[in-house]
Structure 1
Amino acid sequence: MAEHDLEKLKIDRGPSAAAVPRRRRHWLRWAIAALIVLALIAVALKLTGPQAVETATVTSAYPSQSYTLLNATGYVVPQRKAAVASKGQGRVEWLGVLEGSVVKQGEVIARLESDDVAASLAQAQAQVKVAQANLQLQRAELKNAEVDLKRYRILVPQGAIPATQFDAALARFDKAQASINSDEAAILSARANAQAAQVAVDQTVIRAPFDGVVLEKHANVGDNITPFSSASDSKGAVVTIADMKTLEVEADVAESNIARIAVDQPCEIQLDALPDVRFAGRVSRMVPTVDRSKATVLVKVRFVDRDARVLPDMSAKVAFLSKPVPPDQKQAVIAVQPSAVVTRGGRQVVYVIRQDTAHEVPVTAGARIGDLLAVQGVKPGDVVALSPGETLKDGARVTVAKK
């Protein structure tokens, strides 16, 4: 083979074969640069975008929380309560009260049909009059027998009358005297029967046993009233009344905490129905037994001041205090979490969050109330940022961090 032909067999190592790795290195540089740019953009967005903050709500707090030893829950219960019924049996013919009616002691609440017992009373009263008439008759007989006996006592010694006639006069006198005693006993018996009949009549009139308020109405006109009734067509009680002056809160306290409670200890009562009101209370008494199933002791707390809005069976929370609340600390104050208050430019501020924007609000901090801090300058319901960092500024956009 000629030398010229061998040169044609050489491998071509020209520029077309080296261009491939250079192209790969060129795209690699562009990819690294793009990643750096994206990272810088992410950092910039993080610095300039909404900041995530934890928030809390401004609330109302009572200074008495600083004196609270322990808390318990319970219900308002009247200590004087009665299901009013009649010892007699009959049908209701008149009912004069409704739920919520205020009644006085001795006031007529209802009446039962009384025709039968009224007739028995009239008969018993007539028997009294008959016994009294018989007594008058026997007294007249005794008087006549006594006159005869005196006359015969004079005539017998003179022999004017036989002894047998004197004996008959004496027997007549003794009999008349015995009849007097019998008729007097009959009058007492008739009067007792009349009194029993009067009681039966009185039992058809149902009266309030004490001053109170009607809580429930169990019967209506036409219902049968039977004492201790279990029949489906009869009632046992007509109404249930309670003395509102005896309302107390009955709360269960764990037996491990009972040593921290004493009779007449000051308390503060909050009712679920009146959440914005605090009632002053005192420990009335502690029931001297433990509920085994719950390991609690029943503590009764009385209201210091009567309030017409307090009703039986209301849910209540009781705070047992170490000392009475001073008069100037009985009103609620505005409070926040202490971490929400920070110092900016030598003044205390909080950051109120409105429409995803932080607004710097100057406040004046007060005393600690339990886990909260009393402040002035915000209002209950405001949402504030907790532990705001130095980067949080007035007007900054924020998002609420999920807890």
Structure 2
Amino acid sequence: MADHDLSRLKIDRSATAAPGARVRPRRRWLRYAGIALILLAVLGIAVRLAGPRSVQTTTVTSAYPTQNFTLLNATGYVVPQRKAAVASKAQGRLEWLGVLEGSRVKKDEVIARLESKDVSASFAQAQAQVKVAQANLALQQAELKDAEVNLRRSEILIVPNAISRNQYDADVARYHKARASVSSSQASIASAQANARAAEVAVEQTVVRAPFDGVVLVKHANVGDNITPFSAAADTKGAIVTIADMETLEVEADVAESNIARIHPGQPCELLLDALPGVRLAGQVSRIVPTVDRSKATVLVKVRFVDRDARVLPDMSAKIAFLSRAATAQDRQPVIAAQPAAVVMRDGRPVVYVVRDGKAHETPVKTGDKLGELVAVQGVKPGDVLVLSPGDKLGDGDRVTPAKP
């Protein structure tokens, strides 16, 4: 009995050990999760700090020294000073056309013909009338010669009264009549010849010739079209082609009247055409049209080409730089230039940071004269992308990304 009671006094640890075994692993996993979150936050901050820097960029370009003595810039278009819409004074159907757009023609070269059967027939008739008049003149001259012989005979015979006075008077009248007939025939010939010339002109008007040396710009009519230059009838054409003299090309530009005092005839200019990038042509102010456009408050200025290029065509857009002095050969050579803010000093020397493969590469350069808002640099090439205004913290090889505008 006593033994049985003592056994009941023992502590049973199995009941208390089970709850503890469940608590400890749970706390351990919570501790691991907290550490993991801290590590992830630190890693994110490190990745963010080590990522590429956003920077403003600029591009190396080519500039010209003429920018330093440019007084004014303007835009305009190339136009020919001599240009003509060629047509015929005659009316008729276009029978032959010998040119196309771009064809070069010489002065008085035949470029088209109209149907000319009717005027050719009139010309032939007029020529026949001339021959008839000439034949009549020959007949009247023969009659005059015969009348003159009879009159001389009558003058001899009238003295001894070998012929009557009436016969003598008749011979005199016949002589004067023959002379008048000769004069009339001569006038008829002159009239017939004039009619023949008029008919010949009418035939010539059916032949269209180039008024000057030039190039065909536009073809307005085709073979079979009715040409009526002095009418606006339906389905008819006025001009056949438009021709321009390429030797008279010039640039017309509208300049604000507030700036016209800075321009004068003979002033040197530099011409840049959008169709010919990189080609700069010398020009000179030809004339200033002495009137102002009220609606735009501008004055028309015309600039002629000093340097000519066969690739320049009418209606090309052009930029004009009005210069304070004539550009030399050296002034017209391109110079590599960049924004001055892209050049910084590192260890007492000028450098730029070239963005390449997502990194900023420190590149030493030599700076030169200012070219407008740019500065001449050596050590880089046109097209290179530079970091604009790099800070002191930017170093060689740092990862960068261009900032979005």
Per the normalisation by structure 2, the TM-score is: 0.87
Question: C-alpha displacement at 1:48, in angstroms?
Answer: 4.7
Kindly provide the CA deviation profile for residues 195-215 of structure 1, in whole angstroms up to 9, marking residues without a partner as x. Answer: 001001111111111110010
Shift of the alpha carbon at 1:263? 0.7
Q: Deviations over 1:266-299 (max 9, x none)?
A: 1011111112111110111111111111111111
List per-residue Cα deviations over 1:315-349 (Å, max 9, x = no partner): 11101000111111212111100111111122211
Letter in 2 for 1:153: E
- Cα distance between partner residues in 1 of 2:239 and 2:330: 48
Distance in 2, matches of 1:156 and 1:179, equals: 26
Looking at structure 1, the residues matched to 41 and 349 of structure 2 have their Cα atoms a distance apart, in angstroms, of 38
Give 1:42 deviation, angstroms. Answer: 9.5
Q: Could you tell me which residue of structure 2 aligns to residue 92 of structure 1?
A: 94
Partner of 1:25: none
The 2-side partners of 1:93 and 1:249 are apart by 37
Structure 1 residue ranges, 4+ long, deviating more than 4 angstroms after superposition = 37-49
Q: 2:154 aligns with which of 131, 152, 169?
A: 152
- Distance between the aligned counterparts of 1:370 and 1:116, measured in 2? 70
TM-aligned CA deviation for residue 364 of structure 1: 1.4
2:300 alignment partner, one of 295, 298, 301: 298
Distance 2:41 2:267 in 1: 66
Which of 366, 369, 373 is equivalent to 1:367? 369
Are 2:345 and 1:346 aligned? Answer: no
- Asked if the contact 2:281–2:308 (Cα under 8 Å) also holds between the matched residues in 1, the reply is no
Could you tell me how far 1:227 is from its partner in structure 2?
A: 1.5
Q: CA deviation at 1:228?
A: 2.4
* Equivalent AA in structure 2 for residue 198 of structure 1: E
Choose the corresponding residue for 1:329, options 325, 328, 331: 331
Q: Who is 1:24 aligned against?
A: none
The match for 2:221 is: 219
Partner of 2:392: 390
- CA distance in 2 between partners of 1:305 and 1:402 (Å): 42
Unaligned runs of 5+ in 1: 1-36
Task: Give the counterpart of 1:259 among 261, 275, 291.
Answer: 261
What is aligned with 2:194? 192
Aligned position for 2:109:
107
Give the SS at the match of 1:352.
Answer: strand
For residue 159 of structure 1, report the CA deviation from its aligned partner.
1.6
CA distance in 1, matches of 2:138, 2:336: 89
Cα displacement string for residues 152-189 of structure 1 (whole angstroms, at most 9, x for unaligned residues): 12222322212111111111111111111111111110
Equivalent residue, structure 1, for 2:205: 203
1:307 to 287, 309, 320: 309
Q: Which residue of 2 aligns with 1:287?
A: 289
1:142 is displaced (CA, Å) by 0.8
Write the distance in 1 (CA, Å) between the matches of 2:368 and 2:238. 60
How far is 1:46 from its partner? Answer: 7.2
Aligned residue type for 1:217: K
1:228-281 residue CA offsets vs partner (Å, 9 max, x unmatched): 231221111111110000000000011111111111111011111112111110
Residue 116 (structure 1) aligns with: 118
Runs of 5+ in structure 2 lacking a partner?
1-38
2:402 to 375, 381, 400: 400
Give the CA deviation at 1:47: 5.9
C-alpha separation in 2, matches of 1:45 and 1:222: 79
Q: CA deviation at 1:121?
A: 0.6
Distance 2:287 2:93 in 1: 42
Structure 1 range deviating more: 147-156 or 321-330: 147-156
Question: Aligned-residue CA RMSD in angstroms?
Answer: 2.0
Distance across 2 between alignment mates of 1:267 and 1:228: 42
Q: Larger deviation: 332-341 or 153-162?
A: 153-162
- Secondary structure of the structure 2 residue equivalent to 1:384: strand
Report the CA distance between 1:45 and its aligned residue: 7.1
SS in 2 for 1:256: coil
Cα pair 2:353 2:386 within 8 Å, conserved: yes
Question: CA–CA distance in 2 between the matches of 1:299 and 1:38?
Answer: 71
Q: Paired residue for 2:8?
A: none
CA distance, structure 2, for counterparts of residue 253 and residue 228 of structure 1 = 37
Question: 1:341-375, CA deviations, whole angstroms, 9 ceiling, x for partnerless residues?
Answer: 11112221111122432111111111111110011
Give the conservation status (yes or no) of the 8 Å contact 2:137–2:185.
yes
- Give the Cα–Cα distance (whole angstroms) in 1 for the partners of residues 354 and 276 of structure 2: 29
Structure 1 counterpart SS, 2:216 = strand
- CA positional deviation for 1:39: 11
Aligned position for 2:273: 271
Q: Distance in 2 between matches of 1:229 and 1:319?
A: 45
Q: 1:335 is matched by which residue type in structure 2?
A: A
Q: Partners in 2 of 1:265 and 1:46 — Cα distance?
A: 60
**Aligned mates of 2:108, 2:359 — CA distance in 1:** 68
- Residue 396 (structure 1) shift: 1.0
Please, what TM-score do these two structures have when normalized by structure 1?
A: 0.87
Mean Cα displacement is larger for which, 153-162 or 183-192?
Answer: 153-162
Q: Which residue does the alignment assign to 2:84?
A: 82
Q: SS at 2:278's partner residue?
A: strand
CA distance in 1, matches of 2:347, 2:239: 74
Offset at residue 400 of structure 1 (A): 2.9
Q: Are the aligned partners of 2:220 and 2:239 in contact in 1 as well (CA < 8 Å)?
A: yes
Q: CA deviation at 1:52?
A: 3.1
Compute the displacement of 1:194 (Å).
0.3
How high is the sequence identity, in percent, across the aligned residues?
72
Whether the 8 Å CA contact 2:94–2:223 is kept in 1: the answer is yes
Aligned residue number for residue 378 of structure 2: 376
Contact 2:335 2:376 in 1 (8 A): yes
> The residue matched to 1:154 in structure 2 has which SS?
helix
